Amino acid sequence: MALNAEVEAKLQQFIQQSSFANSGVVVTDLDGTAVHEYQGKIVIPKEVELGLMRHYERGRPLILNSLRFPLSVIRTFGQDWYKLSNAPIPTVTLNGSLVGFVKKTEESELVFEEAAAFPLTKEEILEALEGVQGLLNGGIKNVLVFYYPRDWRIGEVIWTPLPENILHVKEKYLSASAVTAVEFPKLQDQMLAEEICMIFLLIDAPEDQLMAYQHTKKSNFITHKGVDKLFGAQAMSELLQCDLRDSMGAGDAELDTFLSGVGLALIVGPQQLGFQGLFDTIKLSDSMELGALLFRAAELAAHKTNG
């Protein structure tokens, strides 16, 4: 699949005027960008797979940057991605708050090896739970608290204030390691007793009710102050000793803040995002175009290196 003339020109200019060929990396969001759900399974589109393979063949790492938690990455498409990389995969998870490598053990099991973590403070946890308490006091019971401990093996824990909803929540959120409905004070004690990297609040209530309790969003991702996908990408780039300014990043949503920190930002899909790459920005219609661009970028980088 050939790139259109404008995209080709922007890509060539970036490759020529940056150090991408020698020291740049590709940073990519996962869901909606590099992977998609197809018939209930998360898959890597063939075009993206071919593009990724060309970069791996050049010996360059690719950074995965996702809201997903490590266990989710491992269980869904970890094996397929590892077949491409055949090496530890630099992975930024939980909106930048848990950074490390997906790697294989001697028994060929995939595990996550933490390199850096930026958990919430106790004050930040209390602040988030105070908001939940306000909703409960106001009679809003359709709230779920998802929380993600620093210990990646624990995975995803979901709390509901309604014990009768446990089974429904378990059936709806199959990724959860545990669903609990303990009394609210006990939930607070449990969360304060361990390191939590991210909290996700999901509220199913009318907008006017939410605004009454100063919750204007129906869902909220809460991480330590200043921690987001850009922060996580910067932390990983330091570990890999590469420069984001010489790198390209692909994303499709407002949470993909790393797009403003890379040299070439690749915005995939129809969303109108406000991010601009430090060097340039390219709009791509879908993952097929992303795969074609990644393939071409590897070709151009190899030519520059060999030339």
| Pairing outcome for strands 264-268 and 36-38 | unpaired
Boundaries of every domain in the chain: 5-117+227-306, 122-222
Least confident of 132-146, 160-174, 208-222: 208-222
| Whole-number Å distance between alpha carbons of 77 and 256 | 20
Tens of pLDDT, residues 55-68: 999 998 899 999 99
In terms of Cβ atoms closer than 10 Å to its own Cβ (0-12, 13-18, 19+), residue 254 is: exposed
The pTM for the full model equals 0.93
List the strands of the sheet with 157-159, edge to edge.
178-180, 157-159, 143-149, 196-203, 219-222
Least confident of 113-117, 165-169, 208-212: 208-212
Phi, psi of 144 (to 5 degrees): -120, 135
Q: What is the pLDDT of residue 38?
A: 77
CATH number for the domain whose boundaries are 122-222: 3.30.1240
Tens of pLDDT, residues 9-39: 999 999 999 999 999 999 999 999 999 887 7
| Whole-number Å distance between alpha carbons of 168 and 121 | 31
In terms of Cβ atoms closer than 10 Å to its own Cβ (0-12, 13-18, 19+), residue 265 is: buried
Q: Which CATH superfamily is domain 5-117+227-306 in?
A: HAD superfamily/HAD-like (3.40.50.1000)
CB atoms near residue 36 (< 10 Å)? 16
Say which residue the tokens 């930048």 belong to: 96
The mean per-residue pLDDT over the stretch 243-252 comes to: 97
